[in-house]
Chain A
Amino acid sequence: MRQIFDIHGGIHPPERKDMSNPGWVRDCDMPSKLILPVTQHIGAPARPVVEVGDSVLGGQMIAEAQGPVSVPVHAPSSGTVTAIEARAVPHASGLTDICIEISLDGKDEWVGCEGLDNWRDETKAALLERVRLAGIAGLGGAGFPTAIKLASDRDGGIHTLIINGTECEPYITADDTVMQCFAQQIVEGAEILAHMVGAETVLLAVEDNKPEAADAMRKAAEALEMAEVVTFPTKYPSGGEKQLIEILLNSQVPSGGIPADIGVLCQNPSTAIAVRDALIDGKPVTHRITTVTGMSLKDPGNRRVMLGTPIKELLNTAGFNADSADRVIHGGPMMGFAVTDLDMPVVKITNCVLAPTRTEIPPPQPQQACIRCGMCAEACPASLLPQQLYWYARAKDQEQLERHNLMDCIECGACAYVCPSHIPLVQYYRSAKGSLREAAKEKVRSDNSRARFEARQERLEREAAAREAKRAARKAAAEARAQAGDDPVQAAIERAKAKKAQQEAEQ
């Protein structure tokens, strides 16, 4: 047995995972249209390469990556592009973004997909390019471009690959289901990932509330010698990348750094499968497994959904009762955000759509005064002092916010969960982080303009000094000549006199 370690804080919210019946996945009904945002990842938006009226096939790239930190978008099925315009997209701030709308023809015709016969023969660069072209971004919920993550091994390289099947958020069972149903593909994907980054150890991490998933993974892991399944006690937020690394390896990712700094790479099980599918089958990311759950649904469960499916249609597939819900949550109840528009589509990061009833998740209670009880500090997995951060966030005291490491907050919501005063702490931190980032940018801007100003000032002074030096040199030369007796003016006068005398003499 591998030794595991504990993290500071954490909470045990009711799990409610049985509701969505983990381990069983059904296809979502084919929608009539898909809405595909060009930004389903962290980074620059993809650029549409189709036009309204174009026919597209499943698997066809419809938007290409723009710049290094970007991933392309592919059509999940065949149909016609009917619009390219701004629509509501899943985003914590309720933003709109450019989306490509495809009306499906129902034939589900696909482009030919060509996989690699032997991926071991390829160079790392070629493999990375395939991962990138397949549109893979972290499917666990963060959406960071996978190719970038795989390329960013710092000096020392990656020694451990962690497949993060923790899934500590209540309600969600998408990873659980993927692990139970597709364990073999996960292990194949993990092998490819480990090969690409040169990891010697693969840890398949599963929380101990998912024994079926752990068993399935154990069975599949027999095929890969360097892989080991590790289970650990259920506690939120053990699935946070940084927290999981501490649980498994007893080491911490340095503040402001990434796991690669300490030789670790974390990937979600579905992402591992996506990498496997991209390389072995040549298939891009066009579908995902999403938990559709909550007591406002008659038939909750895990669905294989085409990306771009409107959330409304997904909910209707599961028997949505709109009267009993007053919010729909994209993601889990701890870190997910409220959906502002049910026409919003399922995207690469949509691991859960939660439609609770009003009694199941009641509206937030009125905020009371902070009594500094410290329950938040006991719950914080990053060992922060949330009560102090709250005061400083309200006072907009940026110096103290930095001194109290606001930027190390992972926004897991454990503090707000336990707060007896019902203070929406995470909301304060998000806003304060925004101001800190803004201030940092502002500082860079002002530093740059100061540097520019100083450089200009220096140049002007240099030029003035050069001019002054030239003038001084000319003056010195003239004086020197005058002293030596060869004053040019005097000489000219003499010459003129001589000439005049000569002329007079000639007359």
Chain B
Amino acid sequence: MSLMHVSSPHVHKPVSSVEQVMKQVLLATIPGVLVLTWFFGPGTIINIVFGSALALAFEAWALWLRGKDYKTPLRDHSVIVTATLLCIALPPYAPWWLIAVGIGVSVLLGKHVFGGLGYNPFNPAMVGYVVLLVSFPLQMSSWTEPRGIGEVPGLVDAFTALFAASSYDAVTAATPLDLFRQNSGMLFDDLMQSRAELTGPIAGLGWDWVNLAFLAGGIWLLRQRIFTWHAPVGMLAALTICAALGYDDGSSTGGGSVLFHLFSGATMFGAFFIITDPVSSAVSNKGRLIFGAMVGILVYLIRVHGNYPDAVAFGVLLLNFAAPLIDQYTQPTVYGTKKVEVDE
């Protein structure tokens, strides 16, 4: 026998790998994707499948260009997570080129220019999303009407929209956050009564269920210890506090209710699937709490006072810049370094 000379520890936690972590994140998106599909049709699923295939191709190409092994890293599923998160954020009936540009930017500019997995300072999916949002505002705001108001598109519609956008009759509708931003003159409660899109049990129709589903997936991930509670709680708490402070009994220029903010747009998706990206966020628990809280504040400010209906992507990217600074000031107290008070 030849003796293997390896360093301690010799044992490793069973079934723990990057691949496993990524798989769990993908599994956790299922409830949210299913609810999106129920309310808006199969567009999101088609996007995810198409986007993931493209992402794998881009990743392999980038690895090949960089002279790296381009087969093994494909198995870690990280690029599929990026593609899935981006495609969930995209409108469900986006044309193929929009998805291709988004995935290309995410994988190449968001990830590989910095050195690939683990080296990206920004959340790759949000880099792709923001580039699309500022470049193609029209396509990026084309959401369809949710089930209960209009006809939910079918598979044929989905493929037509994807590959032959010009022959697809898009029925676009404003999202609750769009309606909220465009509101002028209506009291908040009146606004919520005025349109069918805004009359869900908690917040906007469909969107409250979407948020609940992502919340459920997120709590499952939390219980699987994929991430700690700090970033999501920080973001949701900050958003709650901001909304509560900004709520002025629902005047026409007010900030909207707490429930409206918590269960609209990308709140829960952002809190549990975007700001929890470990690579680009702060490292310590305290740091992640601050990171999440700052995103929450930015989301509120941009939603209420900014030019865009939702703001998770902007908030996350801005805080990605700040993460190293947060790390600098939030180092945990190491064993034996606690300041001891000396009794006089």
Contact = CB atoms under 8 A, between A and B. Distances in A.
Interface of A: 8, 11, 13-14, 92, 94, 170, 242, 246, 252-257, 322-323, 325-329, 331, 333-342, 356, 361, 363-366, 368-375, 377-378, 381-385, 387-388, 403-405, 408, 411, 413, 416-422, 424, 426-427, 430
A242 B340 CA distance: 16
B1 A378 contact: no
Q: Which of A13, A333, A340, A371 has the most CB of B within 10 A?
A: A371
A319 to B, nearest CB: 15
B119 A369 contact: yes
Interface stretch (B141-149, B261-269, B276-284): B276-284
A408 B334 CA distance: 8
B9 interface: yes
A312 to B, nearest CB: 11
A172 to B, nearest CB: 13
A328 B3 contact: yes
B246 interface: no
Interface string B1-40: 1111111111111001110110000000000000000000
A27 to B, nearest CB: 27
B9 A333 contact: yes
A331 B9 CA distance: 11
A417 B335 contact: no
A404 B18 contact: no
A411 B332 CA distance: 18
Contacts of A331: 8
B227 interface: yes
B322 to A, nearest CB: 16
Contacts of A383: 332-335
A253 B338 CA distance: 10
B21 A378 contact: no
Contact of A373 (B7, B13, B278, B338): B278
B3 A341 contact: yes
B123 interface: no
A366 B3 CA distance: 19
21 contacts: A170-B11, A254-B336, A255-B334, A257-B336, A333-B10, A335-B9, A337-B8, A338-B10, A361-B10, A364-B6, A365-B17, A366-B72, A371-B21, A373-B21, A377-B285, A377-B332, A387-B283, A408-B334, A418-B13, A421-B118, A427-B7
Contacts of A329: 10
B337 interface: yes
A404 B334 CA distance: 8
B49 interface: no
A329 B7 CA distance: 10
Q: Which of A372, A378, A422 has the most CB of B within 10 A?
A: A372
B335 A252 contact: yes
A408 B6 contact: no
Given A371-B117, A373-B278, A374-B227, A326 B7 contact: no
